[in-house]
């Protein structure tokens, strides 16, 4: 939907989106560095992981300030804003929603403040950023209610932040070690209080998270490409089931669960940047290897091989190498049309693929074309691409896909369509070929894709391809993007208030806030750039 302020908001056509990862997370602890700008550039490198909202929280040791908004990283932040975010710790986030709608309240980092403890320990502020998706969200929501905490959260991240802040008698690290073993699902967390940066990864390590070193401190990020962007050297991956604490005393590692690695296989197909490394394997090299396998498994007589920009190109290069058929750039991508303020009317939807991709007529005219793409979800995009190539003069279009058919939804942080919408769930390969209008269609085998990762099958989550979910899903079916919004609605329909008036004091850390007009919020020291910053102890963020 277009935004009232005219800023860019949504993809050209929300109905035609491909698979989306939940988020990118970034954290830095470094005294004497401009941590807000480091976080900005780190998020810029992770923009592909989330394009709905962006935010950065910083601390100078006395208070936490967060600035966030809907939009791309470069739209949310400018030089004056970054200059106002001063401190030595920063946590950043770029979001695509998989639990909770795309709205300002669900943008991250999420802020929560502890209540004052019985020994009058000062309140602690927690800023939390999350990549992944929890599957016991309903259980966490019940736990928040049982503790008597008022929190109308509509994201799993907000519930985790609330529960972390619900133990004022414990340090943040101790509270995390108590809470993390109770979470089920995928989570790569980067969070902070006034003095310490933390990072944690679920026992299965579904989503990537890496540790880097800079001269004056440490960096944590979703991908190694973000480390390189800010000049950090790669140290290692954050291990599954590990909590890192980084402060003036250095780095401390604690295990909160036994590791059972199940890294996401789809990271190798589409989600990660090609210049990133996961489990020692360069993503670009893995995708080229998949293309070579695809050529061996599904050969066809043709004149040229082209890749769909951007994630289909490495596999197309590999296909060309193995097949001996020349590779060429047959489709040109407009790099500036990822998102628009235009309401997606039917006319705009029809124009959408043409605004994003344009065929090189001189290259494809009169040719038998092999078009390599990363995946097919609904099939609408490939149908439009095939039509474009035929209109440009291609005499045949053979589609090759560098992943197996996507037949199952993901509950661990990728916003696929529902199973009913997945074209491979209702049609076989021949049916899909006819639906998209291709002359032939071939998918790489699951075994071929796994081999290209150079990881054992047992260390990979393959659920979207084979339906084997490594983390048990709730038996009651209480899982889904808008789960918490549904819980709040049902409570309201039953006549139970979602925000009891008895807990509306301004200084209560879980009290309902005033409608968020400013984008910069703080706990602790006032934000120098925001005259409306929320006072210490107030709950600024829903």
Q: List the catalytic residues.
A: 23
Compute the distance between CA of residue 472 and CA of residue 255 in angstroms, rounded to an integer.
21
DSSP reduced 3-state for 81: helix
* Three-class secondary structure assignment of 431-463: HHHHHHCCCEEEECCHHHHHHHHCCCHHHEECH
Q: Cis bond leading into 109, ω under 30°?
A: yes
Angle 232-234-238 from CA coordinates, rounded to 5°? 115
Q: Which residue has the tokens 């929560």?
A: 112
For 181, the token pair is: 């073993």
Closest Cα partner for 389 from 311, 324, 329? 329
Closest Cα partner for 420 from 383, 379, 381, 378? 378
Compute the distance between CA of residue 77 and CA of residue 74 in angstroms, rounded to an integer.
6
Give the side-chain half-sphere CA count within 13 A for 175.
21
Number of Cβ within a 10 Å radius of residue 329: 14
Compute the distance between CA of residue 127 and CA of residue 149 in angstroms, rounded to an integer.
18
Q: Which residues contact 79 (CB under 8 A, 6 or more apart)?
A: none
Q: Cis bond leading into 310, ω under 30°?
A: yes
Residue 432's φ and ψ, nearest 5 degrees, are -70, -40
Closest Cα partner for 521 from 158, 127, 26? 127
For 336, the token pair is: 């500036």
Number of Cβ within a 10 Å radius of residue 178: 14
Closest Cα partner for 284 from 325, 262, 322, 312? 312
Specify the DSSP class assigned to residue 418.
P
Closest Cα partner for 355 from 341, 372, 336, 374? 336
What is the number of helices (H) and of strands (E) in the chain?
Answer: 18, 26
Q: At what angle do helices 137-146 and 483-493 cross, to 10 degrees?
A: 50
- Compute, in degrees rounded to 10, the torsion defined by CA atoms 513, 515, 519, 523: -10
Compute the distance between CA of residue 542 and CA of residue 530 in angstroms, rounded to an integer.
18
DSSP reduced 3-state for 91: strand
Per DSSP bridges, beta strands 263-264 and 331-333 are unpaired
Per DSSP bridges, beta strands 89-95 and 64-70 are unpaired
Specify the DSSP class assigned to residue 267.
I
């Amino acid at each position: 939907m277009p935004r009232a302020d005219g800023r860019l908001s949504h993809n050209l056509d929300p109905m035609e989106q491909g698979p989306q990862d939940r988020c990118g997370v970034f954290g830095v602890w470094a005294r004497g560095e401009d941590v807000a700008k480091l976080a900005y550039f780190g998020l810029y490198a992770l923009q592909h992981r989330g394009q709905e909202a962006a935010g950065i929280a910083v601390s100078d040791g006395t208070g936490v300030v967060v600035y966030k908004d809907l939009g791309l990283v470069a739209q949310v932040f400018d030089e004056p804003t970054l200059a106002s975010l001063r401190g030595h710790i920063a946590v950043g986030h770029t979001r695509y929603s998989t639990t909770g709608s795309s709205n300002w309240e669900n943008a991250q980092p999420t802020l929560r403040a502890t209540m004052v403890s019985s020994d009058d320990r000062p309140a602690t502020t927690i800023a939390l950023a999350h990549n992944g998706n929890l599957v016991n969200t309903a259980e966490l929501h019940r736990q928040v209610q049982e503790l008597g905490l008022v929190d109308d959260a509509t994201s799993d991240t907000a519930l985790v932040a609330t529960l972390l802040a619900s133990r004022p008698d414990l340090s943040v690290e101790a509270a995390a070690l108590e809470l993390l073993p109770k979470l089920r699902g995928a989570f790569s967390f980067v969070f902070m209080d006034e003095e310490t940066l933390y990072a944690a990864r679920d026992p299965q390590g579904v989503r990537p998270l890496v540790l880097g070193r800079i001269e004056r401190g440490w960096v944590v990020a979703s991908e190694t490409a973000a480390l390189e962007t800010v000049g950090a050297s790669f140290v290692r991956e954050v291990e599954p089931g590990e909590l890192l604490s980084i402060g003036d005393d250095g780095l401390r590692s604690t295990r909160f669960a036994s590791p059972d690695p199940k890294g996401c296989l789809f990271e190798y197909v589409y989600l990660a940047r090609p210049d990133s490394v996961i489990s020692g394997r360069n993503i670009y090299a893995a995708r080229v290897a998949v293309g070579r396998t695809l050529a061996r498994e599904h050969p066809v007589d043709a004149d040229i091989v082209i890749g769909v920009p951007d994630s289909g190109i490495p596999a197309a290069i590999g296909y060309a190498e193995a097949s001996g058929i020349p590779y060429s750039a047959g489709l040109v991508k407009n790099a500036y049309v990822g998102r628009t303020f235009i309401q997606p009317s039917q006319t705009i939807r029809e124009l959408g693929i043409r605004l994003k991709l344009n065929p090189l007529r001189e290259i494809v005219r009169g040719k038998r074309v092999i078009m390599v793409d990363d995946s097919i979800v609904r099939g609408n995009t490939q149908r439009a691409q095939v039509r474009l190539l035929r209109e440009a003069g291609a005499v045949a279009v053979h589609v090759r896909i560098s992943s197996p058919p996507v037949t199952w939804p993901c509950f661990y942080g990728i916003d696929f369509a529902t199973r009913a919408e997945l074209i491979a769930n209702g049609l076989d390969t021949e049916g899909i070929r006819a639906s998209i209008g291709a002359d032939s269609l071939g998918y790489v085998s699951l075994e071929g894709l796994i081999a290209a990762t150079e990881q054992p099958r047992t260390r990979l989550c393959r659920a979207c391809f084979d339906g084997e979910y490594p983390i048990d899903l709730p038996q009651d079916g209480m899982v889904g993007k808008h789960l918490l919004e549904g819980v709040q609605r049902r409570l309201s329909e039953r006549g139970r208030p979602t925000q009891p008036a008895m807990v509306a004091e301004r200084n209560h850390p879980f009290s309902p806030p005033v409608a968020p007009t400013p984008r910069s919020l703080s706990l602790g020291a006032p934000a120098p750039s925001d005259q409306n910053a929320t006072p210490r102890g107030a709950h600024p963020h829903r």
